[in-house]
Amino acid sequence: MRTETISAQAIKVDGEIRTRTEMRDGMRSPVADSLDGALVTNMRTRLTLSYATNVLKSKITLQDTRTFGQTVPGVSATGNMGIYEAWGEYLFAPGMSFTIGRQALEYDDKRLLSSSNWSNTGNAHDLLLLKYVSNDFTLHLGSAWNNASDVMVESPYSIGYKTMSYVWTTKTIGKVGVSAIWINEGFQKGTTAALLKERTYRNTAGGNIWLKTPDIPINFYGTGYYQFGHDAKNKELSAYLLAGKVQGRINRALALTVGEDYYSGSNNTLESNKDNTFNKLYGANHCFNGSMEYWATPPVQGLSDIYFEIEEKPVANFTFDATFHKFDLAKLPKKGNKDLGSELDVTITYALSPQVSLQGGYSTYFTTNAVDIAKNSTADSRTPQWAFVMISFKPTFLASK
């Protein structure tokens, strides 16, 4: 007689409709006085189907991105519709599973691997992921091998990494959390038949340590990463990132944070076949180094970002955040000085309901000559400004167990 184990099934269908209107007047780079700023509304639509049993999980997310006005009335849609995530996970032993498919990866504070939720498109990777989870210890092993199309022989691949393998682990020790990660990316050296067989490898290794407990009004988060090997252009690579922040909570509603991010850079005398500039890989851009994203990619000379943040949450569904950044180059450029000016970011978030949220913000950048040099801006420009209003609807169409 055959016996069958019936597992409880959970099926859920979620949606997201997100619009963000931005006033861009010097966003990411100074704008010449002769040019007008832009008012742009982008929209992201997602439909997510989730399925879970005791041993099986699966997720499919359809995504469409578009700009208001991109499709005018009476004309066929011209948005960007596709698969954002599509993966299946199987639990083959207690605490052990594997996931394969297109997946959004997020680790630690999202510096190296992030879903990049602020972006309209987001980040996702095609890979196989092995997981081990216990009470206070987690281990992930990921591996990817990419092709540009359904090829029959080894072919050029220049979209991104050809291969990627990584290991990530985290453990809680009392009130302290620690994590470690190593990422190895492989890039083809060239497009000739001989060079297709050869690869250059970029390695990023490091970790995080943090202290966060409600018993102590001060929290700490520290980060350190070292990059070595060769970059995507086959230059000999030696670079690092150091970051730390301390948050003091005055009371339940008010918190103050001070911190610094330091990305190493290449100086003027560095040999042409070497690289000392840290690469942020596939991490979040918007939540580090200023909301105006001037230094989403650090300059060749590296970057220092010293910041001070005030966060106030007077009621459960309302948050006010103001952050001041002071930017400097890590290395002296050929022209000018290290002073990259400063930026002020103000953000307000209000949850109208569990399914609807409203967020708005304003930022301004106080530029210097060094900013113009780093951004190759030669025309007279005005004070950069940026503002946004974002409305997110996240309905649940179906939820069953």
Q: What is the pLDDT of residues 57-108, one digit of tens each?
A: 999 999 999 999 988 887 666 667 899 999 999 999 999 999 999 999 999 9
The tally of domains found in the chain comes to 1
Q: Is residue 4 part of a domain?
A: no
Q: Is residue 3 part of a domain?
A: no
> What token pair was written down for 284?
């979040």
- What is the DSSP secondary-structure string of 4-56? -PPPP-EEEEEEEEEEEEEEEESSSS--BTTS--EEEEEEEEEEEEEEE-SSE
Alpha-carbon span 321 to 295, nearest angstrom: 20
Q: Which residues contact 42 (CB under 8 A, 6 or more apart)?
A: 19, 20, 22, 65, 66, 67, 68, 120
Give me the phi and psi of 194, to 5 degrees please. Answer: -70, -45
Q: Which residues contact 194 (CB under 8 A, 6 or more apart)?
A: none
Give the β-pairing of 274-275 and 10-25.
unpaired
* Type and span of the H or E element at 346: strand 339-353
pLDDT digits (tens, 9 = 90+) for 158-172: 889 999 999 999 999
Q: Is residue 154 part of a domain?
A: yes
pLDDT digits (tens, 9 = 90+) for 323-380: 999 999 999 988 879 999 999 999 999 999 999 999 999 999 999 999 998 998 877 8
Q: Is residue 1 part of a domain?
A: no
What percent of the chain has a predicted confidence (pLDDT) above 70?
97
pLDDT at 212: 82
Q: Is residue 2 part of a domain?
A: no
Alpha-carbon span 359 to 223, nearest angstrom: 29
Q: What is the DSSP letter of 120?
A: S
Alpha-carbon span 99 to 52, nearest angstrom: 13
pLDDT at 78: 64
Token pair 């954002």 is found at 84
Q: What is the DSSP letter of 250?
A: S
Question: Does residue 40 surpass a pLDDT of 90?
Answer: yes
* Type and span of the H or E element at 372: helix 369-374
For the residues 117-121, what does the mean pLDDT come to?
A: 95
Q: Minimum mean pLDDT among 162-166, 212-216, 281-285: which range?
A: 212-216
* Type and span of the H or E element at 67: strand 56-67
Domain that holds residue 323: 10-400
- What Cα–Cα distance (Å) separates residue 11 from each residue in 4, 14, 52, 59? 21, 10, 7, 10
Q: Is residue 217 part of a domain?
A: yes
Cα pseudo-dihedral 243, 127, 393, 252, rounded to 10: -30
Q: Is residue 323 part of a domain?
A: yes
Q: What's the whole-model pTM score?
A: 0.93
Alpha-carbon span 123 to 63, nearest angstrom: 12
Q: What is the CATH number of the domain that holds 78?
A: 2.40.160.100
**β partners of residue 22:** 40, 388
Q: Is residue 76 part of a domain?
A: yes
Residue 278: closest CA among 141, 288, 292, 165? 288
